[in-house]
Amino acid sequence: MSVVAISPPPLLPALDRVPRVDEVGVEERVARFCSRSIKKESKVQALKLALSMIDLTTLEGQDTHGKVTQLCQKAIHVHDALPGLPHVAAVCVYPTMVAVARQALCGHDIKIASVATAFPSGMAPLGVKLEETRLAVQEGADEVDMVISRGAFLEGDYGRVFDEIIAIKEACGPARLKVILETGELGTLDRVRRASTLAMHAGADFIKTSTGKIQPAATMPVTLVMLHAIRDYYHATGRRVGMKPAGGISRAKQAIQYLVMLRETLGEGWLTPQWFRFGASSLVNDILMQLEKQSTGAYQSADYFSKD
């Protein structure tokens, strides 16, 4: 007879004890990050780091095998004209496209992330969400990007949101779970902070701002509040949780500002694609354009950078 150690299920954290957030103060802090002057070697380093953190994404009703395959080519050959570039961290697709991406990325160290749980609205019964999650993982997803039930959260039914994340995490098996809060629908930074804490206690490996389908998507104030939540959770439990701002980050300059914020909030441990991602697609070429500028001294036409 073997003894199986059963770890107790996670408990819903006391959300009334989550620190309050002052929006004006957050915006002021963000302005400080944005006023950092990142030049020369530190700029090149930041651009390469940002590139290596990108989840190259296509999440559209019109996605086809062709589109996904071509996106994967971009992920592999991001800009061969410039040697020494890192590859992007992952491609992010719908569950039905995971197999296509799997095949296209065969032999490359690029992760496959799949959205699931009735993305982007999350308006489906739990059973359907679990089934979709299992399918994505079976097809070969390394990472699952789920959405929380914002309706339940806004109703104050935190227990349901919490239990759903626990269930999805279990369905993920070995795949890492990113929990999308859809902060544009939560409305206040106080709710963002609570939802972050709730998701981490339920087992999220990453917390993520947005689906990209709702405006506003990722913003620096929202991301800073989530980074603060990650820091406090890390101090309390010793467990690292990753961060993924997604949607609305299309310029290299913005990406560098996010990295400054990350560096000065969480430090060295998070300055890696393992713990920080950008959910973006057009960001790639702007970073490449800046890197070319740094190496040649001149900006090149957009036609010199591949669009897939």
Partner 1 sequence: MTRPESRLRFDTDWKYSAAPESTDHIRVDSQYELFIGGKFIAPGARQYFESINPASEKVLARVARADRGDVDRAVIAARRAYDRSWSKLRPAERGKYLYRIARMLQERAREFAAIESLDGGKPIRESRDVDVPLAAAHFFYYAGWADKLEYAFPGRRATPVGVAGQIIPWNFPLLMAAWKIAPALACGNTVVLKPAETTPLTALKLAELTRDVDLPPGVVNIITGAGDTGAALVEHADVDKIAFTGSTEVGKQILRRLAGSGKHYTLELGGKAANIVFADAAIDQAVEGIVNGIFFNQGHVCCAGSRLLVQESVADEVIAKLKERMATLIVGDPLDKNTDIGAINSAAQLEKIEQYLRIGQAEGGEMYQSPCSLPETGYWCRPTLFSGVAQSNRVVQEEIFGPVLAIQTFRSLEEALDKANNTPYGLSGGVWTDKGAKIFKMTRALRAGVIWANTFNKFDPSAPFGGYKESGMGREGGLHGLGAYVELH
> Which residues are known catalytic residues?
145, 208, 244
The span from the first CA to the last CA of the chain, in angstroms, equals 56
Of 36, 67, 87, 160, the one binding partner 1 by CB under 8 A: 36
Considering only 60-68, 149-157, 262-270, 300-308, which stretch makes contact with partner 1 by CB under 8 A?
262-270
Q: Does 187 bind partner 1 (CB under 8 A)?
A: no
Q: Does 20 bind partner 1 (CB under 8 A)?
A: yes
Nearer to partner 1, 2 or 35 (CB): 35
Q: Does 61 bind partner 1 (CB under 8 A)?
A: no
Q: Angle, to 10 degrees, between the axis of helix 283-296 and the axis of helix 40-52?
A: 150
How many other C-beta atoms are found inside a 10 Å radius of the C-beta of residue 214?
15
Give the distance, in angstroms, between the CA of residue 168 and the centroid of all CA atoms in the same chain: 17
Residues 98 and 16: their CA atoms lie apart, in Å, by 39
Q: Does 86 bind partner 1 (CB under 8 A)?
A: no
Token duo for residue 222: 């929202």
Q: Does 191 bind partner 1 (CB under 8 A)?
A: no
Q: Does 46 bind partner 1 (CB under 8 A)?
A: yes
Nearer to partner 1, 199 or 256 (CB): 256
Of 12, 15, 34, 38, the one binding partner 1 by CB under 8 A: 38
Q: Considering only CA atoms, which of 158, 143, 147 is closest in space to residue 198?
A: 158
Mark residue 54 as left, alpha or beta (left: phi above 0; alpha: psi -120 to 50; beta: remaining).
beta
Give 203's DSSP letter.
Answer: T
Burial pattern 111-139, b for ≥16 Cβ within 10 A else e, equals: bbbbbbbbbbbbeeeeeebbebbbbbbeb
CB of 21 to partner 1, least distance (A): 5
Considering only 40-48, 69-77, 141-149, 281-289, which stretch makes contact with partner 1 by CB under 8 A?
40-48
Q: Does 297 bind partner 1 (CB under 8 A)?
A: no
Residues 96 and 104: their CA atoms lie apart, in Å, by 14
As a whole number of Å, the CA-based R_g of the chain is 19
Q: Does 173 bind partner 1 (CB under 8 A)?
A: no
Of 34, 120, 271, 293, the one binding partner 1 by CB under 8 A: 271
Residues 269 and 187: their CA atoms lie apart, in Å, by 30
Q: Does 231 bind partner 1 (CB under 8 A)?
A: yes
CB of 125 to partner 1, least distance (A): 37
Beta bridge partners of 233: none
Q: Considering only CA atoms, which of 140, 147, 134, 143 is closest in space to residue 90?
A: 143
Considering only 5-13, 24-32, 206-214, 274-282, which stretch makes contact with partner 1 by CB under 8 A?
24-32
Q: Does 49 bind partner 1 (CB under 8 A)?
A: yes
Of 9, 14, 40, 303, the one binding partner 1 by CB under 8 A: 40
Considering only 28-36, 96-104, 122-130, 203-211, which stretch makes contact with partner 1 by CB under 8 A?
28-36
Q: Does 21 bind partner 1 (CB under 8 A)?
A: yes
Which residues are within 8 A (CB) of 100 and not within 5 positions of it... i.e. 6 or more apart? 65, 68, 69, 93
Coil, strand or helix: which one is 123? coil
User: One symbol per residue from 238 to 257: x for binding partner 1 (CB under 8 A), - otherwise; what is it?
Assistant: x-------------------
Residues that bind partner 1 (CB under 8 A): 19-22, 24-26, 28-29, 35-43, 45-46, 49, 228, 231, 234-235, 238, 259, 263-264, 266-269, 271
